[in-house]
């Protein structure tokens, strides 16, 4: 079977767990004999993945005839499921003030993304990031992805998260192929009750138009049914996973730091991930076990606030901000940690605890996370209960036998958490839809 996938990130075009999940998922599908064509907003020059075909939507030529077909179909889709209007939208998730300013200066009011063709058509240049006018870029991606899709043969359309839903809907309208909407996170996870109604509308339209909705956890499935009104029969859970071969290096703890314990938070420093609760728990731990260092790796809009808060709590000498890490730096910080903590306020799944477990690091999870559904032996705490969180951190750092038992249990659970299992579930979904 040939699957047309659409996403906003894929290694090395990656900003978080979504790209990691897409990589593991497509690799497992390829091992099962499936062909995957993956369309991204922009593919960096020289990027190549052996097990799938990667296509860049940037610069895709659109002929006048194709332009008319897309314009008609897109108008039909919006009138049927979602109404939009032109607005000045500066929606910029996942970026620091510095990268926001750079993106603003790069795109600004310029029209360097539009190039006319001699034959009367045109091409768009997509930046593919989370820069200013994200909603405009999502709309442009839908047109370009549809143009690219019309040059491919495929059996099923599989889209990941809201930024690709307009493209998936448009391609379904043009080709009649079945559509799978994969829910890695919802606007309720990102923003709590203060949802962006334009994003919510796009999410709801994508789920309604999809022939099957895939949720990464039972937690996410409930959100989809209760907040978006989707038929429960249409929503199926396929948990994420992690691959043991993703561990490339092993690292020894240097002699000079073996007398200390290290506790790690790695993720976006935003409200959703609960970094402030991690810091408050750290303060309580340091009152009892002073020989500990806490590391917060990542970037996000709450970073300046937390830097100030660390100073107010007078824990700056024991609480370190590592910044946004990539590649080997991520491997190293996992391997040198004695405990990984994920205190998310709302986490549809959460791959990072599984990554930490690959390095034999025990984990402490928020009960408000999807991954806690499959890690029955991991330590868990409510994100808001920083005292309970601190007690469990102290227990792991103080009692080596507890740490060893947690690692042993993790080894057993990881035997069944494999991307191949997830791929088998997805193939069954594809087959049921393609056979209609």
From the list 332, 329, 331, 307, the residue with the least C-alpha distance to 320 is: 307
Top-confidence residue, 100 or 317: 317
SS3 of residue 433 by DSSP: helix
Determine the Cα angle at 352 with ends 101 and 399, to 5°.
125
Domain residues of the chain, as ranges?
2-241+420-434, 244-414
CATH number of 244-414: 3.40.50.2000
- In this structure, what DSSP letter does residue 161 have? S
Q: What is the pLDDT of residues 312-322, one digit of tens each?
A: 999 999 999 99
- E-assigned strands of 16-60? 35-40, 53-56
Instruction: Indicate if the pLDDT at residue 366 is higher than 70.
Output: yes
Rounded Cα distance between 418 and 25, Å, is 10
- E-assigned strands of 135-291? 156-160, 179-183, 212-215, 235-237, 261-266
Q: What is the pLDDT of residues 186-206, one digit of tens each?
A: 999 988 878 889 999 999 999
pLDDT of res. 377: 84
Q: What is the pLDDT of residues 325-336, one digit of tens each?
A: 888 898 899 999
Top-confidence residue, 135 or 3: 3
Token pair 């191949």 is found at 420
Q: What is the pLDDT of residues 288-315, one digit of tens each?
A: 999 999 999 999 999 999 999 999 999 9
Determine how many CB atoms are found less than 10 A away from the CB of residue 314.
11
pLDDT of res. 59: 66
From the list 313, 372, 317, the residue with the least C-alpha distance to 342 is: 372
Top-confidence residue, 326 or 371: 371
pLDDT of res. 312: 95
Q: What is the pLDDT of residues 23-66, one digit of tens each?
A: 899 999 999 999 999 998 877 665 667 778 878 887 676 665 66
**Assigned superfamily of 2-241+420-434:** Glycogen Phosphorylase B; (3.40.50.2000)
pLDDT of res. 118: 61
Instruction: Indicate if the pLDDT at residue 133 is higher than 80.
Output: no
SS3 of residue 263 by DSSP: strand
What pLDDT band is residue 348 in, cutting at 50, 70 and 90?
very high
From the list 283, 263, 242, the residue with the least C-alpha distance to 422 is: 242
In 54-210, which residue ranges form alpha helices assigned H by DSSP? 64-81, 97-107, 134-149, 165-175, 187-191, 197-209
Rounded Cα distance between 144 and 130, Å, is 18
pLDDT of res. 361: 94
From the list 263, 365, 384, 352, the residue with the least C-alpha distance to 315 is: 263
Contact 7, 21 (CB under 8 A): no
Rounded Cα distance between 426 and 133, Å, is 33
Rounded Cα distance between 159 and 51, Å, is 18
pLDDT of res. 86: 30
pLDDT of res. 131: 56
**Mean pLDDT value across residues 96-103:** 46
Token pair 């490339």 is found at 248
SS3 of residue 362 by DSSP: coil
Over pLDDT 90: what percentage of the chain? 59
**Mean pLDDT value across residues 278-288:** 97
Average pLDDT over the chain reads 84
């Amino acid at each position: 079977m040939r699957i047309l996938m659409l996403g906003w990130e894929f290694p090395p075009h990656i900003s978080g767990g979504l790209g990691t999940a897409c990589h593991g998922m497509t690799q497992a599908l390829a091992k099962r004999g499936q062909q995957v064509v993956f369309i991204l907003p922009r593919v960096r020059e020289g990027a190549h993945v052996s097990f799938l075909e990667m296509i860049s939507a940037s610069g895709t030529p659109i002929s006048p005839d194709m332009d008319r077909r897309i314009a008609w179909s897109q108008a039909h889709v919006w009138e049927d499921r979602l109404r939009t209007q032109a607005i000045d939208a500066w929606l910029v998730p996942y970026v620091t003030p510095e990268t926001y300013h750079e993106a603003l200066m790069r795109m600004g009011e310029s029209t360097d993304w539009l190039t006319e063709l001699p034959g009367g058509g045109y091409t768009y240049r997509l930046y593919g990031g989370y820069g200013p006018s994200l909603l405009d870029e999502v709309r442009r991606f839908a047109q370009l992805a549809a143009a690219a899709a019309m040059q491919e043969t495929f059996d099923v359309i599989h889209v990941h998260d809201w930024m690709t839903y307009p493209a998936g809907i448009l391609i379904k309208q043009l080709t009649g192929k079945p559509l799978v909407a994969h829910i890695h996170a919802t606007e309720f996870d990102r923003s709590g009750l203060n949802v962006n109604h334009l994003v919510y509308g796009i999410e709801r339209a994508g789920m309604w138009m999809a022939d099957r909705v895939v949720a990464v956890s039972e937690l996410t499935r409930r959100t989809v049914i209760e907040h978006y009104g989707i038929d429960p029969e249409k929503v199926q859970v396929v948990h994420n996973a992690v691959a043991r071969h993703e561990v490339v290096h092993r690292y020894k703890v240097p002699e000079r730091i073996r007398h200390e314990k290290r506790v790690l938070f790695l993720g976006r420093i935003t409200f959703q991930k609960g970094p402030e609760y991690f810091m408050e728990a750290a303060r309580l731990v340091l009152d009892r076990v002073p020989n500990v260092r806490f590391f917060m790796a990542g970037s996000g809009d709450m970073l300046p606030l937390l830097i100030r808060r660390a100073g107010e709590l007078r824990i700056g000498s024991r609480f370190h901000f590592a910044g946004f890490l990539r590649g080997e730096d991520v491997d190293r910080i996992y391997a040198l940690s004695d405990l990984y903590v994920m205190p998310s306020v709302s986490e549809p799944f959460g791959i990072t605890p599984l990554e930490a477990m690959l390095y034999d690091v025990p984990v402490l999870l928020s009960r408000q996370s999807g991954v806690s559904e499959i890690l029955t032996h991991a330590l868990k705490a409510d994100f808001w209960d920083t005292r309970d969180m601190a007690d469990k951190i102290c227990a792991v750092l103080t009692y080596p036998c507890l740490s060893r038992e947690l690692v042993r249990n993790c080894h057993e659970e990881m035997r069944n958490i494999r991307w191949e299992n997830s791929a088998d579930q997805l193939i069954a979904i594809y087959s049921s839809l393609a056979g209609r």
